[in-house]
Structure 1
Amino acid sequence: MKTALYIIVVCLLSTVFNPAQGQLSTDDELHLLLKEKDSVLFNAAFDTCDAETMESLFTEDFEFYHDKGGVTIGRESFLIPIRTNCSTLDPKSPQPSKRILLENSLRVYPLRKDGELYGAIQEGIHRFEFLNEKQQYQKGDIAKFTHIWMLTDGQWKIKRELSFDHQAAETY
């Protein structure tokens, strides 16, 4: 009984004197930095078809998990189909799809070890639009995403990406 009481007291005190850091405010420097990196990533993926920029934002051992497309292991394995697709597109024409981050959906949670920032979890909700036969954008899926960002040698790179809970356009 004394042991159980001791464990409860230690747990309570550890939460009082060492509170976990939660989600960052939207005006926090790290939140703003990773929001900008998110924008750069999806601009490269959907607007400019810039595989080199995308490559610079992923770790070499990057993993991508998609609830409809499966898993892709490795940065190069992820980028090969993007490079192939981009080589067939006219950069002056509207891109076949675009991504829109839903306002106020982005959240950032810092990751620390012994007080040192080493990474962050970024999550949000985005929707996609696709060109129809009249070359007009129409609503596509809406989905949630999670990025695991790692800070290595002063550079922020995505190590893991989750894309999940894809819903049809009618749901938004």
Structure 2
Amino acid sequence: MRPRNMILIATLFAMTGYPAIAAEPVPAPLPARQPGPATLDDAALFDTLATLDSALFTAAFGTCDIARVRALAADDLEFYDDRSGLAYGSGDAFVAGINCLNWTRGNDPQIARRLVPESLTVERLGNWGAMQRGRHQFYLVVPDGEDRLEGDADFIHLWRHDATGWKIARVISYGHRAVVK
């Protein structure tokens, strides 16, 4: 049957109330897409994740801003460590384990985390998010003195982007090395 005849028959059926041949419904318009990794160029994506990395670790190690750490952590965050395996299985568990909760109470010494800037790389993960890799160093904070390097480690952070923004969803911390004194 020719396409023109199909249109004529479909029109006749529609006019007579027969539902046998009906046009496909027009789909609803898609919701506005949230800016995600695919809408950021590589430099903007790198800068965004570098800023988030700094915000997360400043809150966790510098200011002990637990609310800020929790806001950046996905509810289903998983944190893997080469020394202990699965260290945290949720955003809440991650926040509860933050060391600053101990040093602010005087129970543990304060530790500072410093990113090795030239080690940071960022790679897009489709429209889901991005992977951030690098190395960071950990220092014992010495009041009224020079902080002492204690060790370093490599990391992989998977950042997920959704309608609520960027959240750290997976952490792999590995290659921990103590400083030989």
Deviations 1:62-85 (A, max 9, x none): 010111243111111111132742
Aligned CA distance change for structure 1 residues 30 and 133 (closer, same or farther; 3 Å): closer
Other-structure match for 1:155 = 165
Whether the 8 Å CA contact 2:103–2:110 is kept in 1: the answer is no
1:1-172 to 2 correspondences below 5 Å: 28-71=43-86, 72-82=88-98, 84-85=101-102, 88=105, 96-112=110-126, 117-131=127-141, 136-170=146-180
Aligned length: 139
Aligned CA distance change for structure 1 residues 142 and 50 (closer, same or farther; 3 Å): same
- Specify every segment of 5 or more residues in structure 1 that has no aligned partner in the other structure, as ranges: 1-23, 90-94
Whether the 8 Å CA contact 1:128–1:139 is kept in 2: the answer is yes
**How big is the shift at 1:97?**
1.1
Work out the CA distance in 1 between the residues paired with 2:134 and 2:71: 21
Whether the 8 Å CA contact 1:49–1:86 is kept in 2: the answer is no
What SS class does the counterpart of residue 119 from structure 2 fall into?
Answer: coil
Work out the CA distance in 2 between the residues paired with 1:134 and 1:85: 20
Deviations 1:108-158 (A, max 9, x none): 00011xxxx221000000101013598541111111011111111050101
Work out the CA distance in 1 between the residues paired with 2:162 and 2:76: 13
Work out the CA distance in 1 between the residues paired with 2:157 and 2:131: 6
What SS class does the counterpart of residue 104 from structure 1 fall into?
Answer: helix
Work out the CA distance in 2 between the residues paired with 1:154 and 1:29: 19
Give the 4+ runs in structure 1 shifted more than 6 A: none
Q: TM-score, normalised by structure 2?
A: 0.68
**How big is the shift at 1:58?**
0.9
Of the two, which has the highest radius of gyration? 2
Work out the CA distance in 2 between the residues paired with 1:158 and 1:76: 13
Higher strand share: 1
Percentage identity across paired residues of the two chains = 33
Counterpart AA for 2:62: D
- Specify every segment of 5 or more residues in structure 2 that has no aligned partner in the other structure, as ranges: 1-40
Counterpart AA for 1:101: L
